[in-house]
Copies of this chain bind each other. A is one copy, B any other.
Amino acid sequence: MPYEEDEDEEPRACAVCGDQAKGYHFNALTCEGCKGFFRRAIKRSTQLRCPYMKKCIITKNNRRSCQACRFRKCQDIGMRKDMVMSEEEVMKRRTRIKQKKMYIASTQLSSQQEQTIEELLSAHHSTFDPVFSRFSGFRPMDRSVSPVSEYSQSASEPFNEPTCPENTCTSASKHGSDLTAASYAGFSSSSSSSCSFHHEEDEVKNCVFSALPHVTDLTTYMIKDVISFSKSLQEFRSLTIGDQISLLKGATFEIMQIRFNMVFNSETSNWECGHITYCIDDAVRAGFQPLLLEPLFKLHHTLRKLDLLEEEYVLIQAMSLFSPDRPGVQNHSLIDKVHEYLALTLKTWIDCKRTGPEKHLLFPKVIACFTEMRTMTEEYSKQILQIQDIQPDTISPLIMEVVSKSPCSDF
């Protein structure tokens, strides 16, 4: 009857120092300390020298005072060097584990990623107003002016635009499909028709900027919400003020367009912003030129056709915001990490939640849209500055702030 067995349940002692040992390490019963010490000693492979008489008695308390004697004791009691993994073995193990992690990470969303999406959705819902109910007090838009719309040049009746004095852009919605089809086909057809507008300088004066005050108010309204969205993100707030400004300057236009895309109706080519419906001609009437509007219009169609879910839209907004290569960013590496994290989250989300064969193309297509938007951001700034030049004091200070290159600001 061996009732005698425990005495301390597991009273085994380290063969090197006498400390409590929980198991065998490198072929000897040792404590955690001696285990780590032996591995490090092997990997360092440097000669150790005893400052005393090479006869140190190793105990739990003095084991740190003489590495040489401790190592000798390790070998004496039978710890085996060959049981320490070699450098290549370690490398193999590491890469194998990394691979596995990568696979897991691209197969299922981590709880952190799900939490991130939740935060983004929450931030988005509290700062985006899809029916534009808070958009009021704006200056009215005069749609009686029929712009020389470059988008209807290739259409059959370019000068037959009816006036649309109401809040709904009836012109676009009436024969909008024709116009869209014609212009949209034109965009993707050839480069010859894509820039048939080669008299910019003179034509600019024909534009009466009749929609500029309204578009300015709308844009200002949108920018405020974009800033609120960004500021309600934990990661964003943790950046320096300077970097926050740099990121906002770079991303505001893009995020605005992403948000407009959520209310874009690709059938009618209209943006259905609650009680007001906009068409591309409103942008023309605000003074923007085809060099921006053509690719922008195309982008909205391309992006809308992806039929993104809200989670995807909001991840795209965040990816745009955390673009590391905006002018003036200081903490490039951190922002790059966040950006990659968001991109991986989007990719994984698509892989997990989407079905169908086109899901593998969705992520690359989104990335392509980013490239498009990037060039448009620059062109937008240019055109805003041009408009500001011709029509001073119409564009709001907030818009100028976004467009300006000055590093200092106070959003």
Q: Which residues of A contact B (CB under 8 A)?
A: 51-52, 65, 82-83, 111, 114-115, 118, 122, 125-126, 327-330, 332-333, 405, 407
Q: Contact check: which of B126, B327, B329 meets A125 at CB < 8 Å?
A: B327
State in angstroms the CA–CA spacing of A332 and B121 once bound together: 13
Please, which residue of chain B has its CB at the minimum distance from the CB of A328?
A: B122
Shortest C-beta distance, A49 to chain B (Å), equals: 9
Is A122 touching B327 in the complex (CB atoms < 8 A)? yes
When all copies of this chain in the complex are counted, the total is 2
Is A405 touching B126 in the complex (CB atoms < 8 A)? yes
State in angstroms the CA–CA spacing of A119 and B53 once bound together: 58
Shortest C-beta distance, A281 to chain B (Å), equals: 30
Is B405 touching A330 in the complex (CB atoms < 8 A)? no
State in angstroms the CA–CA spacing of A330 and B111 once bound together: 10
State in angstroms the CA–CA spacing of A82 and B122 once bound together: 54
Is B125 touching A330 in the complex (CB atoms < 8 A)? no
Shortest C-beta distance, A323 to chain B (Å), equals: 14
Residues of B within 8 A of A407 (CB): 122
Is A330 touching B115 in the complex (CB atoms < 8 A)? yes
Residues of B within 8 A of A65 (CB): 83
Is A118 touching B51 in the complex (CB atoms < 8 A)? no
Please, which residue of chain B has its CB at the minimum distance from the CB of A86?
A: B51
Is A118 touching B330 in the complex (CB atoms < 8 A)? yes
State in angstroms the CA–CA spacing of A407 and B122 once bound together: 10
Residues of B within 8 A of A332 (CB): 114, 118
Known pairs A114-B333, A115-B330. 14 more at Cβ < 8 A? Answer: A51-B82, A52-B82, A65-B83, A111-B333, A114-B332, A118-B328, A118-B329, A118-B330, A118-B332, A122-B327, A122-B328, A122-B407, A125-B327, A126-B405
